Amino acid sequence: MGNVLVQYYSETGHTREMAELVALGASQVNGIDVRLKSIDQSTLEDVDWCHGIALGAPTHLGSIPWKLKKWWDEAVETQWGKIDGKFGCAFSSAGGLGGGPELTCMGLLTILMNYGFLVFGVTDYVAPMMTLHYGAALPGHPKTQTEKDLCIRLGVRLAEWVSCYVDRNDSYHPLKASYKRSP
């Protein structure tokens, strides 16, 4: 049974809405157990428990909010070198297009890489001109169905990677002929 943690920081609820959709996507994959937790709710046990994490934050000055960085900085003391090999992906809400959410995604992925996580992007287009190469990045909160699909797709893909490598479920590998892309 693969475990997915969706961990997020949010001040006005936009990233939280994205996180809920990422968790919804992950829960659509058979055999995956999902935990959805804010940075204030989650503990190191959640990170130990998961096989894959989706880490989300609003874009603050083109980067990661300090509170989330602090959480992961402080975890170094006990967790670094002990949680390698889990899957990781990122999502971010920003004030507007061009405001830097992809930079924040890269910052979040950098944190995960430092812990030895296997981070990934997604090549899918959920609609024309709507993709998530660095993770799910949006202005504000997910409003349209396409924006919601973007977040859902990230969760689906994370759960599929977990199922593929933890539960040895080959059919979830995107290069397998049998692989079916979710809508």
Return the DSSP state at 133. B
What is the SS3 assignment for 137-150?
Answer: EEECCCCCHHHHHH
From residue 68, alpha-carbon distances to 9, 30, 141, 166, 171 in Å are: 6, 30, 19, 27, 35
Provide the minimum distance between the beta carbon of 181 and ligand FMN in the complex, in angstroms, as a whole number.
Answer: 28
Binding mask 95-134 for ligand FMN (x = CB under 6 A): xx--xx----------------------------------
Provide the minimum distance between the beta carbon of 42 and ligand FMN in the complex, in angstroms, as a whole number.
Answer: 16
Judged by beta carbon, residue 133 or residue 143, the one nearer ligand FMN is 143
Is 61 a binding residue for ligand FMN by CB under 6 A? The answer is yes
Provide the minimum distance between the beta carbon of 131 and ligand FMN in the complex, in angstroms, as a whole number.
Answer: 19
Find the binder of ligand FMN among 3, 15, 42, 163 (CB under 6 A): 15
Q: What single letter denotes the amino acid at residue 33?
A: D
Site for ligand FMN in 144-183 (CB under 6 A): none
Beta strands in the chain (DSSP E): 2-8, 32-38, 52-58, 87-94, 118-119, 122-127, 130-132, 136-139
Nearest to 183 by CA among 127, 111, 119, 115: 127
Find the binder of ligand FMN among 93, 112, 119, 122 (CB under 6 A): 93
Is 85 a binding residue for ligand FMN by CB under 6 A? The answer is no
Is 12 a binding residue for ligand FMN by CB under 6 A? The answer is yes
The answer to whether 51 and 162 have CB atoms below 8 angstroms apart is yes
128: enclosing H helix or E strand: none
Judged by beta carbon, residue 95 or residue 116, the one nearer ligand FMN is 95
Q: What is the distance between the terminal CA atoms of the chain, rounded to a whole angstrom?
A: 24
Find the binder of ligand FMN among 34, 59, 132, 158 (CB under 6 A): 59
Is 7 a binding residue for ligand FMN by CB under 6 A? The answer is no
Cα–Cα dist 112/128, whole Å:
30
- Chain residues binding ligand FMN by CB under 6 A are 10-15, 58-62, 93-96, 99-100, 140
